[in-house]
Every structure is written in structure tokens, then in C-alpha cells.
């Protein structure tokens, strides 16, 4: 089971919407709330943009988003600058000449070719990256070839993932991967060059310094001491910022703890924090207290006043997918929304106020 916390995101944001609608006298401007699908595929945000998202809703002045982490419920934080790493997933297909294991001299073994590549790829980080100044990870997560112990197959396939936190480093690592793969194919006498296919890509998640500073000040005054203004960078990846970069608008993204306090404190006392289930686990530790902490953060967003223009025309909280479209004003018509048909635009709620901030 892989929900990554998106079920919590949906529940908490719906609760926040209910509070915001009930407290309309406390805020002004236009709040655009979007439930985004396909974050795991790295293309949900861009497909929404290409599907005409900003023809359907106002373009926000600033975009705000959050994601849960298996931290203590009630704790949350952000950082200015790079928040999450870029990610590139590649599938490499090596083609040789198949044959019988008793006559390897008549074959070009794609398994040996691929295995040599796996080992060589690890030298990119250890020998080409200045690890004191740069960050990079190259992980081979899949290796498939053959179906019998006595047959050398014609093809072997590996899949790998690259994580970087700087665009220049990203380009260099990907260039090195391309160089090594092609060289191994040539050295092995491959009958054709290895095929390199990019299967997934995520951009860097970068928090705008001006927006982040204002959010940090507001959250610090509202939620201290549970709020951390210098949250460690995460090497996970997100496509959230595409919603901002596609229209030249700044973004701010933060993390919220979701593990029930009693579970966290017991693990902390026993030295077993590493055993707490993560976002991709069916045993993710969530309690009502964690949900309360989440929607409190969203409700706190109404207190943020960002002097980017004379007034804030739109603030967008970008969260995760739901299986039906929400596209109502000032209310959530769930029954009607369940029957809606939409390719990528999985939820829009626009809360409008005419007064300027």
C-alpha cells in the first residue's frame, strides 16, 4: 500500500476548507485550493498546467504546499532555498547476442555488459563529485535479464534513479551516466548501442526566499516552539513547484509531522525512532491529533500577508490526489463531484472575497 500520506493531505485540507469558509470575515482575497494527482509520476502538475489549469482558476500570486513526514505530530518546518532534490529515473536496455551457456564464446553477453555498468556507475559519485560541496546519489534499483540458468539472453535491462540538489551537478551526473553506458556497450562489442530512456523526472523544489521569510515569521509567531525555520533538506522529490515556475510565481513548501505523540515519545525513549513506519508504509502512524495539527497549519495560512503586490489576489494550497473532481465555489458538493469527469484537474475550490488585504 503506497499512499505516501496523500489520504491525510486530503482529509486535513478538507477540514481546513471548512474552517476557512466558516471564518470568511477573518481573511480577504482569493484562495485557490487544488488537489493534484500523479505526483508520484512526476507529471501531475505539468499536465494540469497543460490541461488549462490557469484558464479555469485565477493565477495565484504565491503558491503554498505541504507534505507529511513520519515526525512527531505537531512539529513542522521549512527552509529557504532548495527544499527537495531533483530526481531522474532512467531505463537502460543492453542488447547482445544470445546463446547457450556451454558456448559463451559465440555470444555477446548483455548480463556482463549490464553488470559492469552497474559497478562503473557507482564511481560517478565516489570519483567525479566533490562530496564536500555537492550532493548526488546514483542508485540502480532494478536489474532484469534472462529466464533460464543455461541460456545467455539477448537483452538485459537496468533501471536507475539519480538524486541531485543543483542543476549543474544534475547535468554533469546525467552526462557521466550517458558516457559510461555507451562506453560499456562499445567495450563489450554490443551489436547496437544501449538504449537510454528517461521514465520519470522531478524538478528541484526551491522555496522563494522572500515568501519563505514571511511564512516563517508568521508560523513562528503562531506555532512556536513546534515550528522549525531551518528544517533539513529532503532528498525526496516533488513536482509541486511546476505550478509556480510555469507562470513565474514564487512557491513555499513545508513539512508536517504525522506520528502520534505517544508513539513518537515511546520510540524516542526506547531508541527506536528508526523503526517508525514511513510514508509508504501501510503502518504509517497517524492519529486524530496529527490531523488536527495539519489543518491548524492550513488555517494559519490565512494570517500570512505577503507584500508581493498591492494585494494578494490568490493563494494556492497545492495538495494531493482525490478520485473525483471538486469544482465548486465556497462549498464542497461531494455527491455531484463524484460524478464529474476530468482527465487531470482533480479538484478546484475557489474561495472568493472582494476586499483587499
d(CA 114, CA 162): 17
Model-wide pTM > 0.85: no
**What's the distance, CA 91 to chain centroid?**
20
Query: Which residues, other chains included, contact 287 with Cβ-Cβ below 8 Å and sequence gap of 6+?
Result: 73, 260, 263
| Residue-wise pLDDT tens digits, 184-194 | 999 999 999 99
Q: Take residue 94 and report the three cell numbers written for it.
A: 543492453
Residue 342, pLDDT > 70, answer no
- Ranking 152-161, 188-197, 333-342 by mean pLDDT, the lowest is 333-342
pLDDT for 233 equals 87
Percent of the chain at pLDDT > 70 equals 74
Domains within the chain, CATH numbers bracketed: 6-84+204-352 (3.40.630.10), 86-202 (3.30.70.360)
Residue 243, pLDDT > 60, answer yes
> From the CB of residue 21, how many other CB atoms can be counted at a distance below 10 Å?
14
| Residue-wise pLDDT tens digits, 266-307 | 888 888 878 777 777 666 665 554 445 554 454 444 444 333
- Contact (Cβ atoms closer than 8 angstroms) between residue 156 and residue 145: yes
In which band, very low, low, confident or very high, does the pLDDT at 1 lie, cut at 50, 70 and 90?
very low
Amino acid at each position: 500500500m503506497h499512499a505516501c500520506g496523500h489520504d491525510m493531505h486530503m482529509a486535513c485540507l478538507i477540514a481546513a476548507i471548512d474552517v476557512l469558509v466558516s471564518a470568511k470575515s477573518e481573511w480577504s482575497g482569493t484562495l485557490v485550493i487544488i488537489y493534484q494527482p500523479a505526483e508520484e509520476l512526476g507529471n501531475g502538475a505539468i499536465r494540469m498546467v497543460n490541461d488549462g489549469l490557469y484558464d479555469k482558476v485565477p493565477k495565484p500570486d504565491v503558491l503554498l504546499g505541504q507534505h507529511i513526514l513520519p515526525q512527531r505530530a505537531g512539529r513542522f518546518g521549512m527552509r529557504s532555498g532548495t527544499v527537495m532534490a531533483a530526481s531522474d529515473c532512467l531505463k537502460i536496455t543492453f542488447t547482445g547476442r544470445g546463446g547457450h551457456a556451454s558456448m559463451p564464446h559465440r555470444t555477446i553477453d548483455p548480463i556482463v555488459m549490464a553488470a559492469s555498468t552497474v559497478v562503473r556507475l557507482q564511481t560517478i559519485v565516489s570519483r567525479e563529485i566533490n562530496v564536500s560541496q555537492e550532493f548526488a546519489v546514483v542508485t540502480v534499483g532494478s536489474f532484469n535479464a534472462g529466464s533460464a540458468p543455461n541460456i545467455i539472453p539477448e537483452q538485459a535491462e537496468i533501471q536507475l534513479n539519480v538524486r541531485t540538489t543543483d542543476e549543474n551537478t544534475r547535468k554533469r551526473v546525467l552526462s557521466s551516466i550517458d558516457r559510461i553506458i555507451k562506453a560499456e556497450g562499445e567495450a563489450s562489442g554490443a551489436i547496437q548501442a544501449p538504449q537510454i530512456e528517461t521514465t520519470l523526472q522531478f524538478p528541484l523544489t526551491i522555496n522563494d526566499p522572500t515568501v519563505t521569510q514571511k511564512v516563517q515569521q508568521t508560523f513562528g509567531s503562531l506555532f512556536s516552539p513546534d515550528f522549525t525555520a531551518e528544517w533539513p533538506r529532503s532528498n525526496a522529490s516533488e513536482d509541486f513547484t511546476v505550478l509556480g515556475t510555469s507562470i513565474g510565481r514564487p512557491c513555499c513548501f513545508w513539512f508536517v509531522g504525522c506520528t502520534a505523540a505517544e508513539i513518537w515519545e515511546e520510540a524516542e525513549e526506547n531508541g527506536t525512532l528508526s523503526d517508525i513506519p514511513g510514508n509508504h508504509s501501510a503502518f504509517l502512524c497517524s492519529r486524530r491529533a496529527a490531523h488536527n495539527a495539519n489543518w491548524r497549519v492550513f488555517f494559519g495560512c490565512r494570517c500570512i500577508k505577503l507584500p508581493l503586490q498591492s494585494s494578494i489576489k490568490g493563494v494556492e494550497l497545492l495538495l494531493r490526489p482525490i478520485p473525483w473532481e471538486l469544482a465548486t465555489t465556497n462549498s464542497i458538493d461531494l455527491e455531484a463531484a463524484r460524478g464529474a469527469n476530468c482527465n487531470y484537474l482533480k479538484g478546484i475550490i475557489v474561495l472568493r472575497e472582494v476586499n483587499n488585504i
